[in-house]
Amino acid sequence: MWIRLAVIIAIIASVSGGIYSLLLLFRLRKIYRIDYLNSFFYYKILHFVFGVYGILGGVAIGEILLKYDIKSTQLESIVTLIPLLGIPFIIAAWYLLIKTANELTARKVQQYVSVIYFILVTILFLVYGLILRDLPDDSRAFTGDPGKAIKVVFYVIDLGVKLYIFILLLTAAVRSNNKLKNRLFVRFGGILAGMSALAAAALHFSEFNIFIGVYFLLTYFGSDLVLIFLLKEYLSNNEQEYAEQTDNIENTYQRYGISKRERQIIAGICDGKTNREIADELFITLQTVKDHTYNIYRKVNVRNRVQLTQLFSGLKNE
């Protein structure tokens, strides 16, 4: 009874930590208009959704089904199927984390990195699917916990992604002459990889003790808080630089009455994207982009993309 209560309290605490980290990131991205904060925020949303749906959902359904007369192999198959349905969330989340790290170093994700990432992740999760297919027919496919191999697939990918990010940030720190950024890169990458290693160990040995599994949940939902506080500290130390940029752009948007969608299109134009690329990125039609662009030109009194880019790029550099 007391163990169950402790587990419930720990789960509530871990999910609360995840929600708090989302709120903190949301506030930071409102204060500082920085790309890597946006990517990190969306990573955290997808990461959180997978945790609630894929991990906690599987646990909850397992607890519910235990009350019914269901064979253990069938129960294991159902419980291990739940995370499979949430795979698109975690795949997208890991990619956004890679994007965050690249934007943190003022770089874009290289195309070959994206291709290699999606190929490797697809192959590994195809293996995951084959494992699930074999579970109902041969429960002896694994020694002990039939979901152990599935756990390995999950934390191997997670650890691999975060080790790649650590190496990426460490390389950027070596090349940079900015001591503050060097410290940020090393600490961000080191904490990310270290927490991933601890989570992998906890997940691997969670079958031996329920509290090890609870520790995994705490690291899964709450570990990013450390990174968010790290970013907050760094941005606070450079607040004047980022605040001036934010104020200049925000004041201009408000003065001309630029809507949220128009701001997204302005950002795309300033990044040199075509109307088609902007439409695909925002999931709107090409004609909608053209209509918004016409309205933007009219509002800020410019005639073409060059003048628009000069206006808003100039504000960023003020």
Residues 131, 185 within the same domain: yes
Domain boundary, last residue among 208, 237, 266: 237
287 and 173 within one domain: no
On whether both 259 and 217 belong to a single domain, the answer is: no
- Here the CATH number for the domain that contains residue 93 is 1.20.1070
Residue ranges in the chain assigned as alpha helix (H): 2-31, 35-50, 57-65, 72-85, 87-104, 111-134, 148-175, 179-204, 210-222, 224-237, 239-256, 260-270, 275-282, 286-300, 305-316
Q: Are 123 and 262 found together in one domain?
A: no
Rounded CA Rg of the chain: 23
**What gap in Å lies between CA 261 and CA 268, rounded to an integer?**
11
Specify whether 132 is located in the same domain as 278.
Answer: no
End residue of a domain, out of 214, 237, 260: 237
User: Would you state the pLDDT for residue 274?
Assistant: 92
Contact between 248 and 315 (Cβ < 8 Å)? yes
The verdict on 256 and 212 lying in the same domain is: no
pLDDT on residue 89 = 86
Residue 120 belongs to what domain range?
2-237
Are 156 and 305 in a shared domain? no
CB 39 within 8 A of CB 96: yes
- Regarding whether 208 and 114 lie in a shared domain, the answer is yes
pTM comes to 0.66
CATH number at residue 270: 1.10.10.10
Same-domain status, 284 and 311 = yes
Of 212, 237, 262, which residue is a domain's last? Answer: 237
Give the number of domains in the chain. Answer: 2
318 residues of the chain, pLDDT tens digit each: 666 677 778 778 888 888 999 999 998 887 777 888 989 999 999 998 888 876 666 555 555 555 555 555 555 555 556 666 677 888 889 999 999 999 888 887 778 888 888 888 778 767 766 665 655 444 443 334 445 666 777 888 899 999 999 999 999 998 878 888 889 999 999 999 999 998 888 888 877 777 787 788 788 888 889 999 999 888 888 765 555 555 567 767 877 788 889 999 998 998 889 999 999 989 999 999 999 999 999 888 888 998 888 888 756 444
244 and 217 belong to one structural domain: no
Alpha-carbon gap, residue 221 to 13, rounded angstroms: 9
* Cβ–Cβ under 8 Å, residues 84 and 147: no
Statement to judge: residues 44 and 75 lie in one domain? yes
Cα distances (angstroms) measured from residue 233 to each of 15, 187, 230: 24, 12, 5
Indicate if 215 and 259 belong to the same structural domain.
no
